[in-house]
Structure formats: structure tokens, C-alpha cells
Chain A
Amino acid sequence: MRPKKRPVERQPTPEPTPDNIEADHELFLQAFEKPTQIYRYLRSRHVVLPVFLPRTLHYMKERSSVTNKKRRTFKVDSILASVAAKHQKDHQNRSKQDSLTVKFNGFFNHDVQTDAEHADVEIQILKNGHRKRKSAASTCASQISLGKTRIPINPASSSSSPDNGPMITHKFTHTNGSLARSAGLFVKVTCPMRHNLPNGLCNGDLHSHDEPPQKRRKNGRVSFHEEDPLLFGAALRVYDRNQQCLLGNGQYQVVLADLQPLEAPPGRAASWLSVQDTQALEPFEVFDKLPTIKFNLRWDEGGSNSLASNGSSSPRLSNHLSGTKASKLREANQSTPRKRLKLQYVFQYGNGELMRQQTEVREDLRCPWCSLLCPTLFGLLKHLRLSHPRFNFIYVPQQKGGQIEVTVNDMYDGSYIGNPQDVHSHIGYAFSRLGPVRRSPVTHVIVYRPKRPGASLTEFLEPETDGTINRQIVQGHNRLYYHTLTCQPMRPQEIDDDSEAENSPPWLFKKTVVMIDEFTDVNEGEKELMKMWNLHIMKQDYIADCQIPKACFKFVEEHGVEILEKNLSRNFLIHLVNLFDFSLVRPEVVQRAFAMLENLRDSREVA
């Protein structure tokens, strides 16, 4: 269930004792546990086997990262033109060579105890090319060394010899062939070590200065070979993926990271090490305490063009943003001014007399049940109402965000609301493995574009109306029916055919006859007449006493000849009198019916 629950009693209730809270929680679970379990299950099923993609929903359009705007104007013939134009643009760019000049001022490291006056510096260029349709490793990085030079260690003045200091130049070319290529500079400083001094004063160990060397040795950050020089490095991004130059002209002071190979103490398996805590250092202290390198960077020729676009950043500022630590700072800075959204879910439950509620505050637009991140509040509310119909959702706007009242939907209709034809489809043999077969004809809705009102939150202010709940697009029976006689499933095309009209099934006629035959105290003539009469009553569906006279006349009309042939007219007369005895017919009916039979006999004799 949800992590945080703050039970809030709407009405003043007795002191919340532990028992009370427990009972309250029990009630809460009773109301919300089952539907929540169902929705959690559906969510995990959707993750494994999605039925649809949320971004295809009209209220989730923002989830789609690709717009369809170009579709309207798109023509197949235009593909070549656009590719050609792009190619030409690349070609122009390539002709513009940007040459980068780096002039080093010096390597500053106050902790390092070394006699050497010069350190070796090497600049490498790292290129990340993203290639389409590559194997799992979609990025391929290449490393090219631009040059090596010697720079002074801890020169007296940082600006002593900016012009005639060691420098490296490189010409950047915009190569084509790979998409979204980003490039970075990697500055590597090799600082030779003095022999007899405790070495390994690396970054990150600053605050453990006073520790005895043995202990420092233990943490595995110390080079065991004292002859080895110290290695420092820093990476700077030159171009980002969009070919934007991030590195402007100016003077840079870059914090270097220790590149000493981490030697794991013997007998200990490799394990995750926590990243050094950077909070101890103020942003600008970094440059004083950690080893840094200073250099001037200048772009020549075409480089200035792309620089102009984002040249607003001052050199000093871009200094701060170097290295991994700085980027971390940047992230932290950016997250603070974001607008806070507060969504308060109010879960209401309990019986009619005492309603209880629990609230839960969320600061994002994730659905609490399926943790689907909705792009808008409208989308979230729409999703909640459509995907979680076992609950009622009512939106109450508030100053910051809003409040969503959640109650269990007692009216929830769990019956099948999909395409009614789908329940029949199994009767057909479509998608058989044994080759193509005819399937039962069904209707499917492929595209449905109704007129939708604009996205407005007002529709969530009041409960759903009947019209909006469980609206079926395809009309029809949403269950499978069976033939009563054979108990076999009914195909969709058979559904209108009423096979169950059996007011007087043939077997009943037969059974009646058999049963009359079984009488022992009735003579054969009476049996014959009773059979005829019973079948007549059954077939004509007479149901009331008032219909008996009519039944008598009709009987003579239909069976008169048979009565005469079987010589049953006396039996018929007795039957009529019997009906009169039971007050079912009046005397004149008896007379008239028998007269009809007499007339029939006369006409037959004449013929």
C-alpha cells in the first residue's frame, strides 16, 4: 500500500488511541485494499505485456516525444531534397576549421612536495560518436592525443608569461558520417615525485592530512611504487551533442582529479566505493585546495561563429562548471527554483454515518496505482477516471495543486465492456496454426474520433454521470450466450434467431398421446377424442376459460371430418356436455358446436 498515511478525522472524534488508529486502518484497508490489489496486478501485467501505449491516448499526448506536425506537409519526394540540404550544410561546416589554441600558465598543487619544476601535460581529445544501428554499444569513443608539453609547477605568478608559455593548438574539423558527435578535451598532467617524501597526497584525502601514512596506505589510495609520478586529469567538454561549443575563449582554471590507479588491497574483492563527499568544500575553495591547472583557451577562425551563440558565459563562470563536481553543483542549483506541485489525495471511506478519510500528499503527477507519470493534471485525472473505475475521483482545486477525493465506487460494473464481438471470436478458427480458415465475422472499431471538449478540469469537479460511465462504442451483447437446447455457444450471427420458441414442443404432443394411451378406465373412443382435443388446445395456445367456446367451434372446423370418420360424434357431444357441467360453456355453445358437426356430416353425405 502507500507509504505514508496521515489519518485525519473529519469530525472531532475521541482521542486517537492506538486501538482507534488500528481500527481506522483496518477500515481503510477494507475499503481500498481489494481494488488497489487489482490495479497493482493490472499495472504489473501492463508492464510485462502492454495492451496499449499510454502516449497514444488523447489525454496523454504530451508523453509522445515525436510530433506529427510534419506529417501534413510530408511528401516522399522531399526526402532526397532534405538529405541533400543537410549534406551540403555539413560540407560547409567542414570547410570551416576551428583551430583551438591552449596556452598553459602552470600547474598548481600546493600539497605536492616535489623538486621538479616542470610537469608534463598532455591534451587528449575524446570523441563520442553515436551511430545508428550499431550493436549494443551505441557510443564509440575515440581518444586522440593532441600533443604534449611541459609546464611549470606552481609558478610564482599565474599571469607571468601568458604569451610565451607552452601551448598546444589543434584544428577541429566537423566530420560527417556520425550523428550527434560530441567532443571533449582531456587534460592529463604527469607530475614527477620526490623520492623520500610521503606521497599519495591526492585529492579527496585532503581532510585526512594528519593521519599517519600507514593508515592512509590502508585505504588503498596510495601508490606503492614511490618512483611513480602522480597523474592528474580533468575532462572538459568542447562540443555537446548538438554541435554547440561549450568552451569559450578565456582563461580557465581547472580542478584536476587524481588519476592514480586504484589498487585494491589484496584479499578484498572489488566493491562499490562511495563517492567522496564534496559538501566539505565551498565552491570556490576547490580551486585553492585541489590541484589545478591554468590555461588560456582561444578559438581562431570559424570557431568564433559558434562561440558567439553562447559566448555570454564569462570565462570565469565556465571555470566553475568544469569537472564532475561542478556539474553536480549545477544540478543542485537548478532543482531549487522548480515550482512545487502539491496533490492531495483524500481517501474517503466508512459507512454512511461516519465517514473517515486519510490524506496523502504527492508532489508529482504519477498515478498512485500504476505509477504512470502523467504530463498534465488533466491527463492524470482523466487517467484516474478511465483506468481506475473502481474508484470515484472528484477534483477540488486549491491554491497549490489540488485535492483529489477518492471514494470506492459502489456502482462499479465489473461486467465485460470490451467489444462484444470479441467474446464470440473463439468460435471461429482464425489464427489457426493449421493454415487459413474462415473466422466468424465480427465488427471492430479501428478508428474512433469523437468530438471531444477541450481539456478542462471542470469536468472533474463533479461525479461522473451515467452517460460517461462504461460507454460502449460497439453496441451488442457483451456476453456469450448458449442455445438452450444443445447448450452449445451461440455464434454472433445466430443471436437474432430465436431457437427457444417452444411453447408446445413436438415431444409434448407425443408425450400427451402416450399418457392418454396409458389410461385404463377410459375407452378407446374417449381416448381418441381426448388426444385430439388436447393437441388442439396445445397447438392453439388457449389459456383462458373464456376461450373455450371459441376453441369448441375451431375444433369442429379443424377436426370435424376426423371426428366423423372415427365415429366419435357421440364422444364429442359428451365432451361438450361435460364442459357445460363444469360451467365453461353456455348451453347454446353446445348446441351450436354440435350443429356445426351435424351440418358437416350432412354436407359430406350429400357429397
Chain B
Amino acid sequence: MPTWSLSVSNMSDSEESTLPSMNKRQRFSAPIYNDRSEDEMDDLSSTASTLEESSRSDTPTLPGRRGRVVNKPPKKCKLQFRCSNFLKENHGQPIFGIQVNLNCSDSDPVIFATAAHNRVSVYECQEGGKIKLLQAYSDPSTEENFYCCAWSFNPVTNQPILAAAGLRGVIRVLSLSQMQCIKHFVGHGNAVNELKFHPRNCSLLLSVSKDHTLRIWNVHTSVCVLILGGVDGHRDEVLSADFTLSGARLVSCGMDHSLKIWNLDTSEIEDVIAESSKFNPAKGSKPFPTLVNHFPDFSTRDIHKNYVDCTRWLGNLILSKSCENCIVCWKPGPLDADANTSSNNNNNNKPDDSVSVLHRFDYRDCEIWYMRFCLDYQQKMMALGNQVGRIFLWDLDVEDPAQTKFTKLMHPKCGTAIRQTAFSKDGNTLLAVSDDACIWRWDRVK
């Protein structure tokens, strides 16, 4: 049985805490840019070189799009954040995942969870930059290495639940009120790279795995509802996926350089989802008839030329990134076509797999994989960390995408790769986790 243990990480409420020691597993020589101006973007040649191979962050070297210089944003971005605190978890291992609980009202404190090593920790952001450790869950297996976590809640009690998964491919469902692992799902043949809950159905959990498939589970009846993968599915590890706001479609991406869109609003899938919520394994001797969908509704390999390690919906547009120092905003089909029908309108012969790229958000020093960007709840800001500890922050709340500007957040003590970032629901706090087991808190300056 997994046990809950409250272990206090090396906690500091102030910035005076000791400089994080250099991680032994650090994979990059960290170039120091202290002598450069902050917003300098015209020099892309001084990128760091990969030192190790066969690590989680290793990417096949690729010339990429060099020299594609984007116009320097004319004005300073109006978003200003200040680093108010950072703390270090005592395991010293990279923190791969951070998620803020968004299933709360605006008055509730900001609760977030981190996934690292064999541990999932739950923190609360308090006034004055303080971060309080609430709970820490430690997996019984010391070989577990959690990569990701996701928040949901119990529809009956409205108590928050947290799902976490990682290296072993076992999805743990933790109940924060019971301080226990209440369920676990076995089935993935390999590591789980990302977890997402359905935006409208709090029971449906999407898991994205190294075994080339995506699965949708019903957390409350403990069944595997749907498997997305097969003949036309991903041909390599799936790294990331995201639901649309309505939950009717999802986009997935992976190591096969492809992005695939799966429609979930077909009658077949809706039926099986409805059936899953009524399924009672104790009654009857038949296993749940898990549906397998081998055919995505849209698939492209034209956006990226390397591992696609993060993707998000922005309305009907898709943001995705690879290890090419660029987040691409694109949409399937031609630019003028209606986004919802683009994949269906001419499917009588062959599906249209054309894409239209709307914008590229360029940045630098982010050429390792498993680096995730995030959007805030209002989808007005986007944040991404890079491999030398900087955070790029884009203001998406502009009329013309060409006008988007970014701020680069940097802290002298932050020099290792920032794996994932997360905004609080109100967008006033930005949290980031790095490879040296640190959690960074940035508060918005009004």
C-alpha cells in the first residue's frame, strides 16, 4: 500500500536560501549570459551543446531552423513577474511535472502538486510568497519516477483527487482528503508521459504513454474506456495531449514527429463513455468492452521535424512545440476553412492533411525534450522554461499574433532546465519546476 508521509522539503520562505548545488545529472554545460542584455534574441548560434546521450532529454541532433530570425518585439511586454520564493525538494531529483488545482473558486488558496522522483507533493501558495507543503505522497516502489500529475475531484463529495503516473506506467489516483492512494490503474505497457482530465467530465482521465497509445480511463468506475492507437496511431512514444475546452476533440503528439487529432464526439465513443460510468465490475462476469480507435481524424508530420513534446489547444488552434526553439501555432486544413469541419468536409476520398501555420513563437536554449509550456486559465498568457533556467512569458492577449511580446524571467540561482510551468487560476502566480529539484514561485507585479 502506498503510504502518505509528510516530509518537509528543504523549505525556505525567502530568497536567501542557499544556492542550489549543481546537479550531477545536469546534461548541459550551462552558458552564463550574465553579460548579455535580457531580451537579446538576434544571436541563436550560441546554443548549448548536448553533453550526454540516452537521457530523457536527449534529442536526435538536427540542424533545425537556424537563422530564422523573427522581428524583435518592438515594445516591452507589459507582463511583469517577480521571483518571490523558491524551495528545493530534498530528493534532489528533477521535478518533471507541476499542476495547479483549477477546480476551485477564486477565493481558495492556490494549491499545486509536483511530480518528481517517486513522490508527489502538494503545496499551498500563501501570502507574501510563502509556499507551504501540505502533503507528500511517496510511491511504495523506489523505482518509480513520476513524470506528471493531474487534478480532478470526486463528483459526489467534491473532494479533490490527484492522478500521477510516470516511469512504471502505473497510474495512481490519490485522494487528498483520505491521504491515500485510492486506486491504481495497470494496463499501460510502458511509462506514462502525461495525464489530463476531461474538462467537462471529471471522471475521464487521459493518459499518454510510451507504449504508443493514449488511454481514457473512468476513474470512478475503474475501467479503461478507450484506447487511441494502433495501425494509424502514433508510431513512437506519445509525449503530450490536450482536450479542447469542450472535450470533444483531443490532440496528441509524440516522438514520431506527428500530431494527431482524435474526435471524441462520435456516437461510438460517446456510447462507450456513457456505458463506462454505469459499469459495475461486481455485477456480471464480462470485462468492460474497451473500445480501441486505431484511426485519428487528422494526422500531420509537417509541423515539426523532431520530437513533439508539448501541445495545447488555443481555441480551435493548436500550439505545439518540439525541441526546435519554437512554439508553432497552427490549425488543420486551409486557413479559411472552418476549424470544426476541416477534417470532415471532404473525407469521402482522402482526408485532408494540410495544415496552416499561423505563427511561430521563437525563443532559445530549449533544445532538450520533455519541456512543457503552459497557458493560463484565461488563455491569455503562455509560459515556457528553457534548459538554462530562464522562463519565457508571452502575452497572447493581443489583436495580431505578430504583436505578441515576451518577457524573459531569470533568477541568478536558477540555472538548470525548467521542465514545466503552471499559472494559478487568476494568473497572478507563475510556478515553475526545475531539474535541480527546485520549485520557483513568480508573482505578478501590478
Q: Please give the residue numbers on chain A whose beta carbons come within 8 Å of chain B beta carbons, in ascending order.
A: 433-434, 438, 483, 485-491, 493-494, 496-497, 499, 507, 510-511, 514, 517-518
Contact = CB atoms under 8 A, between A and B. Distances in A.
A438 B222 CA distance: 14
A491 B295 contact: no
A514 B347 CA distance: 11
Interface string B187-200: 11100000000000
A488 B227 CA distance: 12
Contacts of A497: 285-287
A604 to B, nearest CB: 27
Nearest to B185: A488
Contacts of B230: 507
Contact of A518 (B186, B294, B350): B350
A104 to B, nearest CB: 73
Contacts of A499: 287
Contact of A434 (B178, B231, B282, B285): B178
Given A499-B287, A507-B294, A487 B282 contact: no
Contacts of B231: 507, 511
Interface of B: 178, 180, 182, 186-189, 224, 227, 230-232, 281-282, 285-287, 290, 292, 294-295, 349-350
Q: For B180, B182, B230, B285, which residue has the most chain A Cβ atoms within 10 angstroms?
A: B285
A494 B287 contact: yes
A279 B282 CA distance: 77
Contact of A487 (B180, B189, B285, B294): B189
Contacts of A485: 227, 290, 292
A507 B230 CA distance: 9
A507 B295 contact: yes
Nearest to A483: B287
A499 B287 CA distance: 9
A438 B284 CA distance: 13
Contacts of A438: 282
A488 B187 contact: yes
A518 B224 CA distance: 33
Contact of B287 (A491, A514, A517): A491
Contacts of A510: 294-295
A489 B287 contact: no
Contact of B182 (A434, A486, A518): A434
Given A494-B287, A497-B287, A517-B350, A486 B227 contact: yes
A498 to B, nearest CB: 11
Interface of A, secondary structure class, is loop
A514 B295 CA distance: 10
A486 B226 CA distance: 9
Contacts of B182: 434
A486 B285 CA distance: 16
4 pairs of A and B residues whose beta carbons are closest in the complex: A493-B285, A507-B294, A488-B187, A438-B282
Contacts of B281: 491
Nearest to A488: B187
A495 to B, nearest CB: 9
Contacts of A434: 178, 180, 182
A487 B178 CA distance: 29
A526 to B, nearest CB: 15
A436 to B, nearest CB: 13
10 contacts: A434-B178, A438-B282, A483-B287, A488-B186, A488-B287, A490-B287, A491-B281, A510-B294, A514-B295, A517-B349
Given A483-B287, A487-B187, 18 more contacts: A434-B180, A438-B282, A485-B290, A485-B292, A486-B187, A486-B224, A486-B287, A488-B224, A491-B281, A491-B287, A496-B285, A497-B287, A507-B230, A507-B231, A507-B294, A511-B231, A517-B349, A518-B350
A471 B189 CA distance: 35
B399 to A, nearest CB: 42
Nearest to B232: A511
Given A486-B187, A487-B187, A487-B189, A494 B286 contact: yes
B214 to A, nearest CB: 13
B392 to A, nearest CB: 39
A438 B285 CA distance: 14
A424 to B, nearest CB: 13
A489 B285 contact: no
A487 B188 contact: yes
B292 A507 contact: yes
Contacts of B186: 487-489
Nearest to A515: B231
Contacts of A483: 287
Contacts of A486: 187, 224, 227, 287, 290
A494 B281 CA distance: 10
Nearest to B288: A486
A32 to B, nearest CB: 34
Nearest to B285: A493
Contact of A511 (B287, B294, B349): B294
A193 B65 CA distance: 114
A488 B295 CA distance: 22
Nearest to B211: A487
A510 B187 CA distance: 25
Q: For B287, B290, B349, which residue has the most chain A Cβ atoms within 10 angstroms?
A: B287
A491 B188 CA distance: 17
A566 to B, nearest CB: 14
A493 B178 CA distance: 31
Contacts of B290: 485-486
B216 to A, nearest CB: 12
Contacts of B227: 485-486
B228 to A, nearest CB: 12
Q: For B227, B230, B231, B232, which residue has the most chain A Cβ atoms within 10 angstroms?
A: B231
Nearest to B182: A434
Contacts of B349: 517
B345 to A, nearest CB: 17
B149 to A, nearest CB: 22
A493 B281 CA distance: 10
Nearest to A510: B295
B273 to A, nearest CB: 16
B85 to A, nearest CB: 36
Contacts of B285: 491, 493-494, 496-497
Contacts of B295: 507, 510-511, 514
Contacts of A493: 285
A99 to B, nearest CB: 69
A496 B285 CA distance: 9
